[in-house]
């Protein structure tokens, strides 16, 4: 049995959507990040990083969206969530997801989680102030070059799509108007129509 540890409104939504798309049977457990449950002794035993998502499998716990998304695509071949038989195409998919994880998500985190990098109040404010610019620059690149359309990797829906969806959903709170990026905005709307996305969003609300 697979168990996904997630928190509403977090990046774990990407892995939650991928699981919903996969057709695999899984359990989803909420971690109350508002109460800092991710730092509790019990949760740190599951994920010593103190972050969500974490995916408990029969072979152990996987962390990091990039790893979890790739794993889901590979263990659910019938769902066709990635080009798992083509090493080059799969690496291209991983390149997109790595950019989201290492750059776009980190840009965003400078607003709510600046304390990871600085203690000084002025430095924290300076980091927050920079977020609209860094998110805009990343989305300009995605809109113009990385996003192929109608899905991230082209005609086929893959595990890159839920990951982009989560980042697009954060743009308004990061002070960026998503309509500036029409192709990405259309993708967001297309995602909202998918039953798996609707099921994942409903799970966040329960």
Ligand X SMILES: N[C@@H](CCC(=O)N[C@@H](CS)C(=O)NCC(=O)O)C(=O)O
Q: 38 vs 158, which CB is nearer to ligand X?
A: 38
The answer to whether residue 104 forms part of the interface with ligand X (CB under 6 A) is no
Which is nearest to 166 in space by CA: 131, 201, 194? Answer: 201
d(CA 168, CA 196): 17
Q: Which of 4, 19, 53, 82 binds ligand X (CB under 6 A)?
A: 53
Provide the mask over 113-152, with x wherever binding to ligand X is found by CB under 6 A and - wherever it is not.
x---------------------------------------
Return phi, psi of residue 57, to 5°: -125, 175
d(CA 4, CA 28): 5
Give the nearest distance from C-beta 65 to ligand X in angstroms.
Answer: 4
Place of tokens 């998110």: 135
Give the nearest distance from C-beta 38 to ligand X in angstroms.
Answer: 5
Peptide bond into 47 cis (omega under 30): no
Q: Which of 2, 4, 11, 93 binds ligand X (CB under 6 A)?
A: 11
């Amino acid at each position: 049995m697979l168990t996904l540890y997630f928190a509403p409104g977090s990046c774990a939504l990407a892995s939650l959507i991928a699981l919903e798309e996969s057709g695999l049977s899984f359990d989803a457990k909420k971690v109350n990040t508002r109460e800092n449950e991710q730092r509790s002794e019990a949760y740190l035993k599951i994920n010593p990083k103190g972050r969500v998502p974490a995916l408990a499998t029969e072979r152990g716990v996987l962390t990091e969206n990039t790893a979890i998304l790739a794993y889901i695509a590979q263990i659910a071949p019938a769902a066709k969530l990635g080009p798992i038989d083509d090493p080059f195409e799969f690496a291209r998919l991983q390149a997109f997801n790595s950019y989201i994880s290492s750059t776009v998500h980190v840009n965003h985190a400078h607003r709510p989680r600046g304390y990871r990098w600085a203690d000084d109040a002025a430095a924290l404010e300076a980091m927050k102030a920079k977020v609209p610019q860094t998110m805009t620059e990343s989305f300009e690149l995605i809109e113009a070059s990385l996003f192929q359309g109608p899905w991230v990797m082209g005609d086929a829906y893959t595990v890159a799509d839920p990951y982009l969806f989560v980042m697009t959903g954060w743009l308004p709170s990061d002070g960026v108007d998503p309509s500036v990026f029409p192709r990405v905005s259309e993708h967001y709307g297309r995602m909202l129509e998918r039953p798996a996305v609707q099921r994942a969003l409903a799970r966040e609300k329960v």
